[in-house]
Each structure stands twice: as structure tokens, then as C-alpha cells.
């Protein structure tokens, strides 16, 4: 099923509330320009715009981004929306106060490429914030990709973000309640890393 098909239903597949980890930790990101990767229907980007950040939301799905635009309009906030495949999208170097990746899962080579571009994209003092599923999530049937190679671990993230100061890195089980797409006990890894 394509992302356009997944987002085509009425309502928001992952709900309209922000991701819980982001909502509790967003203040780690300095106020300024924030890039939301694979933002889908816009729940996290809209939340950040409501907190006063200048937000750019990037996603491959035209349908998801149309819903993101509607959500921003309904909430009375502005954000920049870019439809692009993250394999091709150029993250501007030294440009972002924050880059946010919530349940954005990629094949290993592309993951490393996007993470390297994200690391380069941060300004000094900028923060990368991520929550993703670990391989243990395959036992839960509560959301996430179907294969282990798309999941992330603490050691992978340490390797990908060498050169950033790790503020928070943890693998844990938590309830993720986000619309129809993610519901129930989940095995996740969380990262907050700051560029020196």
C-alpha cells in the first residue's frame, strides 16, 4: 500500500496529536528553523509551529501533505510544505536549529545518507530528535515496518551521529497511541543529539 493510499481515508491515520516523545522533549530544540522529515499528515510539524518554530515539513505523499496543510490552516499556523522523496531531497547544510525524525524508517544505506545529511544540516547548537522502532517491535504487531533491516538500534544511531553530543539515547518499551497507525505497546529507540 502506498503512502497516498494509506492517507486517503477520511481522518488522520496517525491522529492529529503530536508524537509523545516529541511533545515532552521539543524544548531541547533551540527556537528557530525546524525540518520535519517524512512528516506525513503534519501532526508533529503543526505542533512545533504552534510552539513558535519556523517549520518545514517534507514528505513524499501529496495526499498526506494536503492533510498537513489543512491541519495547519485549521490550527491557525503557517509552515512550509515540500513534497519530495527523501532519497533526493537536499538538506541544506548548517541551516536548521532542529531536525525531527519520528518513525521514519529507511533501508540501511539510505538511512545513513539521510542521517549524515541531517548531521551536516544542523547549525552549531542545533538538535536532532528521533523516535523509531527497534527490531523487537516486530513481535508487537502495533505498527512500524515489516522487516528488521528497516528498524533502528542505539548502536546504529551512535554510529550515524558520531560528532554530535548525545543528550538522550534510550531503547525502551512504551505505549504509543497515535491514531489507527500506531496503537499499543511498542519497542522504540529515542535520540536527542546536539551539534557542538
Give the residue-averaged pLDDT of 103-113: 97
Q: Mean pLDDT, the chain, as a whole number?
A: 95
Domain of residue 25, residue span? 3-194
Task: Give CA 169 to chain center in angstroms.
Answer: 15
pTM of the model: 0.96
For residue 15, the model assigns a pLDDT of 86
Read off the pLDDT of residues 56-86 as tens digits, 9 standing for 90 and up. Answer: 999 999 999 999 999 999 999 999 999 999 9
Q: State the CB neighbour count (10 A cutoff) for residue 108.
A: 11
- The dihedral sign for the CA sequence 133, 138, 144, 146: positive
Q: How many domains does the chain have?
A: 1
- Inform me whether the pLDDT recorded for 41 exceeds 90: yes
Read off the pLDDT of residues 138-184 as tens digits, 9 standing for 90 and up. Answer: 999 888 999 999 999 999 999 999 999 999 999 999 998 887 768 78
For residue 96, the model assigns a pLDDT of 98
Rounded to the nearest 10 degrees, what angle do helices 62-75 and 43-50 cross at?
Answer: 30
For residue 69, the model assigns a pLDDT of 97
CA distances from 156 to 78, 135, 150 (A): 34, 12, 12
Read off the pLDDT of residues 1-12 as tens digits, 9 standing for 90 and up. Answer: 788 888 888 788
Q: Provide φ and ψ at 169, rounded to 5°.
A: -145, 120
Read off the pLDDT of residues 118-128 as tens digits, 9 standing for 90 and up. Answer: 999 999 999 99
What CATH number corresponds to the domain at position 23? 3.40.50.150
Amino acid at each position: 500500500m502506498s503512502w497516498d493510499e494509506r492517507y486517503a481515508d477520511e481522518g488522520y491515520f496517525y491522529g492529529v496529536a503530536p508524537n509523545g516523545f516529541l511533545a515532552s522533549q521539543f524544548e531541547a530544540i533551540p527556537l528557530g528553523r525546524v525540518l520535519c522529515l517524512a512528516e506525513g499528515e503534519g501532526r508533529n510539524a503543526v505542533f512545533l509551529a504552534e510552539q513558535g518554530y519556523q517549520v518545514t515539513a517534507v514528505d513524499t505523499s501529496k495526499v498526506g501533505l494536503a492533510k498537513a496543510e489543512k491541519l495547519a490552516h485549521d490550527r491557525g499556523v503557517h509552515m512550509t510544505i515540500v513534497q519530495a522523496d527523501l532519497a533526493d531531497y537536499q538538506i541544506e547544510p548548517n541551516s536548521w536549529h532542529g531536525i525531527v525524525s519520528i518513525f521514519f524508517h529507511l533501508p540501511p544505506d539510505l538511512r545513513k545518507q539521510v542521517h549524515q545529511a541531517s548531521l551536516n544540516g544542523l547549525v552549531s547548537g542545533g538538535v536532532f530528535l528521533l523516535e523509531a522502532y527497534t527490531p523487537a517491535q516486530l513481535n508487537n504487531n502495533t505498527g512500524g515496518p515489516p522487516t528488521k533491516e528497516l528498524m533502528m538500534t542505539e548502536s546504529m544511531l551512535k554510529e550515524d551521529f558520531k560528532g554530535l553530543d548525545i543528550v538522550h539515547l534510550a531503547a525502551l518499551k512504551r505505549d504509543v497511541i497515535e491514531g489507527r497507525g500506531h496503537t499499543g505497546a511498542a519497542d522504540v529507540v529515542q535520540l536527542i543529539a546536539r551539534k557542538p
